[in-house]
């Protein structure tokens, strides 16, 4: 024990001698670095609330200000007296070795904390470290207690009030519960914009779109064709323009709120680039997993977003007596009768033809099987079973019970 204590004292003395040799330069570096990172952290936090261009300009301006400020503090005649006072105070503190170490530790701690804050603001940390810091929207995910009866997963469906306003009350009790595991942890699909890739991805949630189409008596494959158009059937793919639209069927933040969905943060305009940046960061922090993201923004919940889009279309169909016009309503009711609306409808019909093309489906199947070593039919059938994870049966039972 005495030997260990002696070795510890020797090590402490060695480090203290090293620190004495580095003083006062080490504290100058730590002080300036801590000041700089604190200012950068404040600028980064402010920039995340700004549109993309304003954010970039703000960060460039902060960099220029720091360069000029550092030069002024280090080298200006106007700050010479201030530097001398700091030097004397630092030297006085360093005469007490305990106080000297405490001072350096505090400066290093401030520097470390602000660096962690800056990196987490840009989503560089792991999902586990950062997810708890994500701004929480008022969503109540309903994670059921799962039991197995005769090897079949069973969930208890909560008894809730009928629809009030625009939001089905059952949504408050629907989250994501991993009851049925996928055949593979991560499927390998053909590239995003390829026809084969679109077919491969859309088949994963085909049972959900088919079921919700049946609830509203919609033409078969309508919702699947819209999903292909909106997100290439990739529910983690936001709008390419980064304007805040997201979901298996893309929906802007304002539209989602108007239709009763909770969103991550806030969105006040149809094209909200600040909100788009937040969505991108949410996806980064969730490692691209919609199962995580749906807890913060309901547009990532497959059943909720598809059901909401279907409800919007059903309302338009009742108004115009036309599913074609109801389809254009997803693009925007104001586009009915306009060139933009006609172009949108044409693309949806092309997607419908794609889903009815045996040769394209054969190509998609062959490519999928080669990539994943899983039969395409088995993938489709198993994906239908996975709809229980998204609580599709909860929504169907609720809608049938409260059908007007």
How large is the average pLDDT for residues 59-81?
Answer: 70
Name the more confident of 140 and 308: 308
Return the axis-axis angle of helices 52-75 and 273-285, rounded to nearest 10°.
Answer: 80
Distance in angstroms (rounded) separating the CA atoms of residues 232 and 248:
8
- Count H helices and E strands in the chain, helices first: 18, 2
Name the more confident of 193 and 159: 193
Q: In this structure, what token pair is assigned to residue 221?
A: 């494959």
Contact yes or no for 383/184 (Cβ under 8 A): no
Distance in angstroms (rounded) separating the CA atoms of residues 361 and 109:
58
Quick check: 106 pLDDT over 90? no
φ, ψ (nearest 5 deg) of residue 147: -125, 160
Name the more confident of 141 and 118: 118
Q: pLDDT at position 65, please?
A: 76
Long-range contacts of 285-288 (CB under 8 A, 24+ apart): 285/123, 285/125, 285/127, 285/130, 285/131, 285/134, 286/127, 286/131, 287/127, 288/236
Quick check: 48 pLDDT over 60? no
Q: pLDDT at position 271, please?
A: 87
**Domain range summary for the chain, segments of one domain joined by +:** 2-122, 147-401
Q: In this structure, what token pair is assigned to residue 198?
A: 């679109």
State how far the alpha carbon of 8 is from the alpha carbons of 4, 5, 17, 105, 266, in Å: 6, 5, 14, 19, 55
Of 316, 297, 301, 317, residue with least CA distance to 395: 301
- DSSP string for 262-318: --SS---SSS-HHHHHHHHHHHHHTTT-HHHHTTT-GGGSHHHHHHHHHHHHHHHHH
Scanning 76-194, the segments in alpha helix (DSSP H) are 80-94, 97-121, 127-130
pLDDT tens, 238-284? 988 889 999 999 999 999 999 999 999 889 888 899 999 999 999 99
Q: pLDDT at position 105, please?
A: 74
φ, ψ (nearest 5 deg) of residue 148: -115, 125
- The single residue listed with the structure tokens 């019909």 is 349
- The single residue listed with the structure tokens 């997803």 is 330
Q: pLDDT at position 209, please?
A: 98
pLDDT tens, 347-377? 999 999 999 999 999 999 999 999 999 999 9
Distance, first Cα to last Cα, the chain: 81
In the predicted model, what is the mean pLDDT of the chain? Answer: 80
Least confident among 68-77, 212-221, 257-266, 394-403? 68-77
């Amino acid at each position: 024990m005495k030997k260990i204590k002696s070795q510890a004292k020797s090590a402490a003395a060695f480090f203290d001698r090293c620190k004495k040799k580095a003083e006062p330069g080490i504290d100058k570096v730590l002080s300036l670095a801590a000041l700089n990172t604190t200012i950068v952290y404040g600028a980064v936090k402010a920039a995340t609330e700004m549109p993309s261009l304003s954010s970039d300009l703000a960060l460039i301006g902060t960099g220029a200000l720091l360069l000029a400020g550092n030069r002024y503090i280090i080298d200006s005649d106007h700050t010479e007296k201030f530097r001398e006072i700091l030097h004397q105070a630092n030297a006085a503190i360093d005469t007490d070795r305990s106080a000297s170490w405490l001072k350096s530790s505090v400066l290093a701690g401030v520097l470390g904390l602000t660096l962690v804050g800056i990196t987490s603001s840009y989503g560089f940390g792991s999902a586990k470290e950062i997810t708890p810091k994500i701004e929480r929207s008022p969503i109540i995910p309903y994670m059921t207690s799962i039991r197995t009866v005769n090897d079949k997963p069973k969930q208890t469906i909560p008894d809730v009030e009928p629809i009030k306003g625009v939001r089905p009350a059952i949504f408050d009790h629907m989250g994501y519960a991993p009851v049925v595991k996928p055949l593979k942890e991560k499927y390998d699909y053909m590239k995003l914009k390829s026809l084969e890739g679109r077919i491969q991805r859309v088949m994963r949630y085909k049972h959900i779109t088919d079921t919700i189409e049946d609830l509203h008596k919609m033409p078969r494959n309508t919702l699947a064709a819209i999903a292909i158009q909106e997100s290439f059937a990739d529910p983690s793919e936001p709008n390419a323009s980064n304007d805040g639209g997201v979901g298996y069927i893309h929906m802007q933040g304002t539209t989602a709120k108007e239709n009763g969905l909770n969103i991550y943060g806030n969105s006040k305009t149809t094209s909200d680039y600040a909100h788009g940046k937040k969505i991108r960061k949410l996806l980064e922090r969730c490692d691209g997993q919609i199962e995580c993201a749906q807890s913060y923004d309901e547009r990532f919940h497959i059943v909720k977003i598809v059901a909401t889009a279907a409800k919007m279309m059903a309302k338009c169909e009742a108004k115009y007596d036309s599913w074609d016009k109801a389809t254009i309503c997803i693009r925007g009711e104001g586009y009915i009768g306009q060139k933009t609306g006609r172009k949108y409808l044409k693309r949806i019909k092309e997607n419908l033809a794609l889903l009815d093309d045996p040769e394209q489906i054969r190509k998609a199947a062959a490519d999928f099987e080669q990539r994943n070593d899983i039969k395409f039919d088995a993938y489709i059938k198993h994906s239908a079973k996975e709809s229980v994870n998204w609580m599709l049966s909860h929504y169907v039972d609720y809608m049938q019970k409260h059908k007007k």
